[in-house]
């Protein structure tokens, strides 16, 4: 059985991608916000797709074919091309997934050292491949904007980070962001995130033992040029954008991995690159966080007197929640405080803040800091785990509040239980037998039709087996569910339009290969409950770039 936190495969892979190697030779930094040098060639490995097809055009009228791997020349423009029938999609290394428009799925494909491709699959399995010839790792999510353009940030082995658009083969791309100022200094970037005007925002900084330093925040236009007034000399390791275009950059301080010593300051930057008056602000407690809300409000939380010694011990004297205005001041009626270690909150579309106290009481607080009618709901969120002393709420797309403990509770915005709920899962919401443990349940995934998908664990006689359960709006288990995955490893789930996409892993035997190769299979799920992954043949074909 597992000896640690049960995490999804992609979460583990994404964490591995953040480990950027350093060397003693650091090149001179490129001017920020300018096109980067031609990337070095990375060896693609174990991607079962045909030769690279056309790079999607944001106009939808014309596309530029991707260069042959190993080439730095730009090919002539031609019409788009594609190939079909690629479900399931199998690769030896898969990083972040992202849902795109019209049911498309974006899959980052990597070898041991670097990203090699982003595979774009339509709902029918038609495939377009975006090659990335860089010797670097993805440091954040894939960002897919409404027209289907995909952006990502990758940092190479000498900690030089760049922003890529559709593989980086268009004029003006990739854009060099930041290079380490000295040997053995690591640069990391937060983002990319999209502003309301289509600008792509990234915060990069050098990482030190006490937190980030020497940072800059970049705003890049779709042309690859820096937005006027940017970059801004603000240091941070997290970034959010408000609905009015205000950029919020969080900078943490304290010993890495020590939640009891973690502090957070937040800087607000206007869309023109000017730091707002009254900022930065520093949150008053430990283990803090923040989220954006409507009308230019951000919501922050922190804990005082945190005791997080050991792998499975977490407590606090008090938890605070605050609404902060555009002027950097705490709004009237705030902060709200609860005794002990309260949950991380979630913000509704109307600015309501939901959280759970250590006693299991769920609160809904309006933007003025008042408890809403019908709340608190007593004793519905009681739970305990190594990484979260109190179970956090989740919001469905229609504003339903979900709480995961031993069962799944669904409350409407007035605090009333939905008919048919709570739901009693067929398996455990936390992986049994894990030491230390238990750990918090994995976050649910919501379909557009209101279906709730949760990962649970059941026993098959040999040990725990991960499975997915599907629950309809009325709190009933969907026919054909749950579906087991054959191992205790949690799958990665992604809702794309009206379907669920599942990423699972498994071994494959290759000719002349001394041991089984562990690969990942990505495919949509039959809404009736059939998981085609069980029939995935995991066929993988190693490839190499053509020799010149």
DSSP string for 36-94: PPPPPPP---SB---S--EEPPTTSS-BEEPPPTT--SPPPPB----B---PSEEES-E
CA atoms within 13 A on the CB side of 166: 24
Domain at 305, CATH number: 2.40.128
Say yes or no: 329 and 273 in one domain. no
Average pLDDT of the chain, as a whole number: 76
Q: Longest C-alpha distance within the chain, in Å?
A: 71
Say yes or no: 275 and 299 in one domain. no
pLDDT at 287: 82
Average pLDDT over residues 264-293: 94
Contact 297, 324 (CB under 8 A): yes
- Determine phi and psi for 219, rounding to 5 degrees: -125, 110
Beta strand pairing call for 186-194 and 54-55: unpaired
Say yes or no: 304 and 361 in one domain. yes
Contact 438, 430 (CB under 8 A): yes
How many structural domains is the chain composed of?
A: 2
Confidence band for 30, pLDDT divided at 50, 70 and 90? very low
Range of the domain at 231: 180-282
Average pLDDT over residues 175-181: 89
Give the SS3 label for residue 371. strand
Residue 125 to residue 131: CA distance in whole angstroms: 18
Is residue 117, in this structure, part of any structural domain at all?
Answer: no
Say yes or no: 195 and 238 in one domain. yes
Contact 240, 292 (CB under 8 A): yes
pLDDT at 21: 28
Is residue 509, in this structure, part of any structural domain at all?
Answer: no
pLDDT of 45 strictly over 80: no
Of 51 and 242, the one with more pLDDT:
242
Judged by average pLDDT, the poorest of 166-175, 216-225, 376-385 is 376-385
Residue that finishes a domain, picked among 365, 390, 415: 390
Say yes or no: 278 and 301 in one domain. no
Confidence band for 79, pLDDT divided at 50, 70 and 90? very low
Say yes or no: 345 and 310 in one domain. yes
C-alpha torsion sign, points 300, 304, 309, 314: negative
Residue that finishes a domain, picked among 282, 315, 335: 282
Contacts of the segment 166-171: beta carbons below 8 A, 24+ positions apart:
166/55, 166/56, 166/130, 167/55, 167/66, 167/118, 167/130, 167/131, 167/132, 168/36, 168/39, 168/132, 168/134, 169/55, 169/64, 169/66, 169/67, 169/74, 169/131, 170/55, 170/64, 170/224, 171/224
pTM beyond 0.75: the answer is yes
pLDDT at 13: 36
Judged by average pLDDT, the poorest of 231-245, 271-285, 374-388, 418-432 is 374-388
pLDDT of 198 strictly over 70: yes
Confidence band for 176, pLDDT divided at 50, 70 and 90? very high
Judged by average pLDDT, the poorest of 364-368, 388-392, 447-451 is 388-392
Is residue 232, in this structure, part of any structural domain at all?
Answer: yes
Other Cβ atoms within 10 Å of 13 Cβ, number: 21
Say yes or no: 301 and 215 in one domain. no
Give kind and range of the element (H or E) at residue 176.
strand 175-179
Is residue 459, in this structure, part of any structural domain at all?
Answer: no
Say yes or no: 276 and 192 in one domain. yes
Residue 88: is the preceding peptide bond cis (ω within 30°)? yes
pLDDT of 292 strictly over 50: yes
pLDDT of 490 strictly over 80: no
Say yes or no: 365 and 320 in one domain. yes
Q: Which two tokens stand for residue 67?
A: 């260069």
Is residue 94, in this structure, part of any structural domain at all?
Answer: no
Q: 456 - beta bridge partners?
A: 467
Angle at 199 between CA 162 and CA 197, to 5 degrees: 170
Residue that finishes a domain, picked among 331, 360, 390: 390
Is residue 261, in this structure, part of any structural domain at all?
Answer: yes
pLDDT at 138: 86
Percent of the chain topping pLDDT 90: 39
pLDDT at 2: 40
């Amino acid at each position: 059985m597992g000896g640690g936190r049960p995490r999804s495969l992609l979460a583990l892979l994404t964490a591995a991608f953040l480990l950027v190697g350093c060397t003693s030779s650091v090149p001179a930094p490129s001017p920020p916000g300018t096109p980067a040098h031609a990337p070095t060639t990375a060896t693609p490995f174990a991607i079962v797709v045909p030769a690279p097809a056309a790079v999607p055009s944001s106009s939808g009228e014309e596309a530029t074919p991707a260069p042959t791997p190993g080439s730095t020349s730009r090919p002539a423009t031609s019409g788009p091309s594609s190939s079909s029938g690629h479900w399931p999609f199998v690769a030896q290394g898969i990083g972040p997934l992202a849902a795109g428009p019209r049911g498309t799925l974006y899959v980052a494909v990597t070898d041991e050292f670097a990203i090699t491709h982003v595979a774009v699959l339509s709902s029918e399995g038609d495939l377009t491949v975006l090659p990335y010839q860089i010797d670097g790792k993805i440091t954040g999510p894939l960002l897919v904007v409404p027209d289907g353009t995909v952006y990502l940030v990758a940092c190479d082995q000498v900690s030089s980070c760049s922003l890529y658009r559709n593989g980086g083969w268009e004029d003006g791309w990739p854009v060099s962001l930041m290079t380490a100022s000295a040997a053995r200094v690591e640069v990391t970037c937060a983002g990319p995130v999209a502003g309301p005007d289509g600008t792509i925002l990234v915060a990069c900084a050098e990482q030190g033992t006490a937190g980030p330093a020497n940072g800059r925040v970049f705003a890049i236009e779709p042309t690859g040029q820096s937005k006027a007034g940017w970059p801004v000399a603000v240091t941070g390791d997290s970034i959010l954008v408000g609905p009015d275009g205000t950029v919020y950059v969080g900078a943490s301080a304290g010993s890495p991995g020590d939640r009891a010593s973690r502090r957070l300051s937040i800087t607000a930057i206007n869309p023109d690159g000017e730091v707002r008056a009254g900022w930065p602000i520093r949150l008053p407690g430990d283990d803090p966080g923040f989220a954006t809300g409507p009308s230019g409000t951000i919501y922050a939380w922190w804990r005082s007197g945190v005791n997080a010694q050991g792998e499975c011990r977490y407590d606090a004297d008090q938890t605070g929640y605050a609404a902060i205005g555009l002027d950097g001041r705490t709004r009237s009626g705030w902060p709200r405080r609860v005794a002990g270690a309260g949950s991380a909150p979630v913000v509704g579309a109307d600015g309501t803040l939901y959280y759970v106290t250590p006693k299991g009481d769920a609160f809904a607080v309006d933007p003025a800091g008042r408890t809403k009618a019908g709340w608190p709901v007593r004793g519905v969120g009681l739970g305990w785990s190594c990484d979260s002393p109190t179970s956090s709420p989740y919001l469905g797309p229609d504003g339903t509040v979900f709480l995961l403990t031993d069962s799944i509770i669904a409350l409407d915005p007035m605090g009333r239980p939905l008919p048919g709920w709570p739901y009693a899962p067929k398996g455990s919401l936390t992986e049994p037998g894990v030491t230390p443990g238990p750990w918090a349940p994995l976050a649910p995934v919501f379909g557009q039709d209101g279906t709730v998908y949760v990962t649970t664990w059941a026993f098959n006689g040999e040990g725990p087996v991960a499975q997915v359960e599907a629950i309809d709006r009325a709190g009933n288990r969907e026919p054909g569910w749950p579906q087991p995955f054959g191992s205790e490893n949690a799958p990665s789930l992604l809702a794309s339009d009206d379907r669920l996409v599942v990423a699972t892993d498994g071994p494959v035997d290759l000719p002349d290969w001394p041991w089984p190769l562990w690969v990942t299979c990505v495919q949509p799920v039959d809404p009736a409950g059939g998981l085609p992954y069980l029939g995935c043949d995991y066929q993988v074909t190693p490839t190499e770039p053509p020799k010149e």
